[in-house]
Structure 1
Amino acid sequence: MEVILKPYELKLRHTFTISRESHDVQPSLIVCLSLNGKTGYGEATSNPYYNITVESMMLEINAILKDIEDFNFTTPDVFHAFLMEKGLTNFSICALDLAAHDLYGKLQNQPLYSIWGTNLDSFPTTNYTIGIASIDEMVAKMQETPWPIYKIKLGTDDDVSIVKALRKHSDAVFRIDANCAWTAEETIRNAPLLKDLGVEFLEQPLKANDWEGMKEVMKHAVLPVIADESCIVESDVEACGNHFSGINIKLTKCGGLTPALRMIKKGKAMGVKVMVGCMTESTVGISAIAQLLPQLDYVDMDGALLLKEDIAKGVSILPDAKVIFPTLGGSGITLK
């Protein structure tokens, strides 16, 4: 296979702030895998919380470049198993795995959702994320992008008041993501107030390893709670299934579509809600997530919508939240 690595600086439409960080640019790595006249594209973004940079990903992929080029590619599963033996971080594996899936689908001339035996008769609508800012700025973002479901980032000293203020300007469904900023007591206290304000669920309110706190939350909270930072890899699903109402799978964190498919199956077997989220990827990463839609209860795939300018074409999300799938095989991606 031919391997090309393309680093990008994805400029955001607005400063994006969550409880622990703020940024205007999202660095991202695009991996291109070519074979038999077809090219597959994958993506992984940098993330300071997990100590991942574009440079670190490029360094470790380049270290095994010859092995990848010499690899006899047959299926994404076999390729993923090969990558797992190389000691790469999951972010680098994700970029390569997504490219391999896109390539495989293009070689088969079928979209991935079809290869997996699913169809597009029914699938969830993505939320649109509103980062932490002043009330006026958050309202302005909602008015700029009217949407049926908003994910509201919280983690301030006045979170419930923020939701009250935003509710005055929208009748959309709200989802709350505190990104580990609350205690169990705060979560239990806030939940009924937020439920009355039309909040659908809470995402990762407590620190990732606060299992005792989550036991208390699950006993008393009146809203479903979805694991994010607590659910990174396949082995986390069982523990999260016993402490949360659902799991949010991030392709970059778990290592791509290959393990994500297994995590979805495991989550469903445990009877918890299954969500897939994004990490502010371009349409390259979002198109891969979209292939999973028929299997999901919830989805957060608004990454490309948050960018000033996209770098690819593929699955597109229209201003009315409708999703358009391309006819091209795989994830349907072409770089601009």
Structure 2
Amino acid sequence: MRVLLKKYVLPLKHTFSISRESHDFQDTLIVGLSLDGRTGYGESTSNTYYNSTVESMMAEIKAIRDELEAFEFTTPEVFHSFLVSKGLTNFTICALDLAAHDLYGKLLGKPLYELWGTNLDYYPITNYTIGIDTIEKMVAKMKETPWPIYKIKLGTNNDVSIVRSLREHTDAVFRIDANGAWSAHETIRNAPILKDLGVEFLEQPLKADDWEGMERVAHHCVLPVIADESCIVEGDVENCGLHFNGINIKLVKCGGLTPALRMIKKARELGLKVMVGCMTESTVGISAIAQLLPQLDYVDMDGPLLLKEDIADGIQIVENGKLVFPTAGGSGITLRQW
């Protein structure tokens, strides 16, 4: 098995701001795994909040490159166990795991969702994310991309006023993501107003480790609350079941599709809603997320829509969030240039 690595710097259409950071570009690592004339592709974006860079991920992979290329590939699950045994970080494991799944499906000539026994009779449509900005610019972004569901990033001193102003310009469903910027008091106070403004749910309103605050929110908030930063890896799901109404799984944070599938199963056992979110990946990472859609309640896979230029072909997100699935096996990814 041959291992290919490449760093891309993805320019964004607009400056993307959340409560803790802003950026105009997204660094990302693309991994290729080639075997028997097929190549599977995986992706992990860099993230300063989680201390992960493309350079650090590449260094991890290069340190065990000989072992990776000598590995007798059978299934993604066996390969994932091997990666974990090497002590790699989850961001690095994710890129390799996604590539392994894409490769596996391509070798078998079937898309992953079919190999998993699911079908496309129903799937949730993605939201489109509006980052923190002036109200005028946030409205302009909505008008530039009319969409049935918007995720609104908040964490300012006038969050409710922002939502009220945005509501004047669209009938779309709103989802609110404060990225841990609110207190329990703010969350409980804001929720009834936001519910009246057509907000569907709140995502990670409190800091990730504020379990005492989330206990209060769980008992007094009139809107459902979805965990993001509080739900990183498999072991977090059970704890979230006591404090949240659902979880948002990020493939880069949990280590790829292999653990994500187990997290979905565990969440269902606990009666939690399940969302999968993105980290501004290109179509490489988003095509992997798309394979999970029949198993999800909500999805945030708008990464390619936020880019000035994409680097791959695979899943196509078209008008109003409808999807055109690739016909190739695996996640159906082809790179436009290496």
**TM-score bucket of the superposed structures, by smaller chain:** over 0.9
**Aligned position for 1:11:** 11
Taking the aligned partners of 1:250 and 1:77, their CA distance within structure 2 comes to 18
**Aligned position for 1:239:** 239
**Aligned position for 1:54:** 54
**Aligned position for 1:283:** 283
- Matches for 1:266-277 after TM superposition, within 5 Å: 266-277=266-277
Taking the aligned partners of 2:257 and 2:219, their CA distance within structure 1 comes to 33
Taking the aligned partners of 1:41 and 1:141, their CA distance within structure 2 comes to 31
- Amino acid aligned to 2:256: G
Tell me the CA shift for residue 320 of structure 1. 2.5
Tell me the CA shift for residue 321 of structure 1. 1.3
Taking the aligned partners of 1:298 and 1:87, their CA distance within structure 2 comes to 31
- Matches for 1:98-113 after TM superposition, within 5 Å: 98-113=98-113
SS of 1:207 mapped into structure 2: coil
Taking the aligned partners of 2:124 and 2:269, their CA distance within structure 1 comes to 19
Taking the aligned partners of 1:67 and 1:256, their CA distance within structure 2 comes to 20
Tell me the CA shift for residue 160 of structure 1. 0.2
Taking the aligned partners of 1:17 and 1:201, their CA distance within structure 2 comes to 20
- Amino acid aligned to 2:41: Y
Aligned length: 336
Give every structure 1 segment of 4 or more consecutive aligned residues whose post-TM-superposition deviation is greater than 6 Å.
Answer: none
**Aligned position for 2:29:** 29
Taking the aligned partners of 1:241 and 1:290, their CA distance within structure 2 comes to 25
Taking the aligned partners of 2:319 and 2:122, their CA distance within structure 1 comes to 19
Superposition RMSD in Å? 0.4
Taking the aligned partners of 1:33 and 1:70, their CA distance within structure 2 comes to 12
Taking the aligned partners of 2:231 and 2:319, their CA distance within structure 1 comes to 31
Percent of counterpart pairs with the same letter? 76
Taking the aligned partners of 1:14 and 1:189, their CA distance within structure 2 comes to 31
SS of 1:49 mapped into structure 2: coil
Taking the aligned partners of 2:326 and 2:260, their CA distance within structure 1 comes to 22
Taking the aligned partners of 1:7 and 1:232, their CA distance within structure 2 comes to 24
Taking the aligned partners of 1:78 and 1:87, their CA distance within structure 2 comes to 15
Q: Which sections of structure 1, spanning at least 5 residues, go unmatched?
A: none
**Aligned position for 2:311:** 311
CA distances 1:182-227 after superposition (whole Å, capped 9, x unpaired) = 0000000000000000000000000000001001001110000000
1:157 aligns with 2:157: yes
SS of 1:14 mapped into structure 2: strand
Taking the aligned partners of 2:77 and 2:52, their CA distance within structure 1 comes to 24
CA distances 1:108-139 after superposition (whole Å, capped 9, x unpaired) = 00000000000000010100000000000000
SS of 1:24 mapped into structure 2: strand
Taking the aligned partners of 1:319 and 1:123, their CA distance within structure 2 comes to 15
Taking the aligned partners of 1:182 and 1:320, their CA distance within structure 2 comes to 31
Taking the aligned partners of 2:323 and 2:240, their CA distance within structure 1 comes to 30
**Aligned position for 1:207:** 207
**Aligned position for 2:326:** 326
SS of 1:50 mapped into structure 2: coil
**Aligned position for 1:335:** 335
SS of 2:200 mapped into structure 1: strand
**Aligned position for 2:259:** 259
Q: Which sections of structure 2, spanning at least 5 residues, go unmatched?
A: none
CA distances 1:262-287 after superposition (whole Å, capped 9, x unpaired) = 00000001001000000000000000
CA distances 1:37-82 after superposition (whole Å, capped 9, x unpaired) = 0000000000000000000000011000000000000000000000
CA distances 1:9-37 after superposition (whole Å, capped 9, x unpaired) = 00000000000000000000000000000
Scaled by the length of structure 2, what TM-score is found?
A: 0.99
Taking the aligned partners of 1:58 and 1:321, their CA distance within structure 2 comes to 33
Tell me the CA shift for residue 163 of structure 1. 0.0
**Aligned position for 2:76:** 76
Taking the aligned partners of 2:54 and 2:25, their CA distance within structure 1 comes to 13
Tell me the CA shift for residue 319 of structure 1. 2.5
**Aligned position for 1:42:** 42
Taking the aligned partners of 1:169 and 1:283, their CA distance within structure 2 comes to 29
SS of 1:193 mapped into structure 2: helix
Taking the aligned partners of 1:210 and 1:82, their CA distance within structure 2 comes to 34
Taking the aligned partners of 2:6 and 2:116, their CA distance within structure 1 comes to 28
SS of 1:30 mapped into structure 2: strand
SS of 1:286 mapped into structure 2: helix
Taking the aligned partners of 1:320 and 1:230, their CA distance within structure 2 comes to 30
SS of 1:175 mapped into structure 2: strand
Taking the aligned partners of 2:169 and 2:182, their CA distance within structure 1 comes to 25
- Amino acid aligned to 1:135: I
Scaled by the length of structure 1, what TM-score is found?
A: 1.00
